[in-house]
Amino acid sequence: MAIKTDAVGKSWPSTTYQVGREKIKEYATVLGIENPVHFDVGAAREAGFRDVVAPPMFAVVYAMPSLAPAMFDPEVGINFARLVHGGQTFEWDEPACSGDEITTTATLVSAEEKLDNGFYVFETVSVNGAGAEVVRGTWTNIVRGG
């Protein structure tokens, strides 16, 4: 088995996501998160947010689309039939609120073979319209048997 490493360091075109109140409500409801700052603009503003605020893990909603072209890029060469999501890290900075336009850029940071498995690590960096970093994600994908 040989892992393709040519694409290490490559970034793909950014994706932009407009955060909205109903989508935040939908996500929070599925997770059973009940804090009114995720549902009610008055409660959110009283707590110091610009608008209804997203739970931290809402990051998957606005950051994940940036990974699609990266994951399907033949230069990366991921075998989807053997793909598992091995690990995930998020580091949060500025909260994501309804009305924000969040732009995310994905980069392949490493591609390595370990114990006959391929480890592909992507980083996503998400910034809001004011240029402030919202979240940084590290996505570890494992391709079993390469």
Partner 1 sequence: MADLKAGDALPELKVTPDKYLPHRYAGASGDFNPIHVDPEFAKSVGLPSNILHGLYSMGVVAKAAAQGLAGGDPRALKKLTVQFRGMGLPEQEIEVTGTVKEVEGDRVVVDLEAAQGDNRIIRNAQAELEI
Q: Can you give the binding site for partner 1, defined by CB under 8 A?
A: 23, 26-27, 29-35, 37-38, 53-57, 60-61, 64-65, 81, 84-92, 95, 138
What letter would DSSP give residue 53?
B
Closest distance between partner 1 and the C-beta of residue 95, in Å?
6
* 123 and 110 Cβ atoms separated by less than 8 Å: no
HSE, side-chain direction, 13 A CA sphere, residue 139: 26
Report, in Å, the least distance between residue 36 CB and partner 1. 10
Work out how close the CB of 63 gets to partner 1 at its nearest, in angstroms, rounded to a whole number.
10
Closest CB to partner 1 among residues 16, 29: 29
CB contact set of 81 (below 8 Å; sequence gap of 6+): none
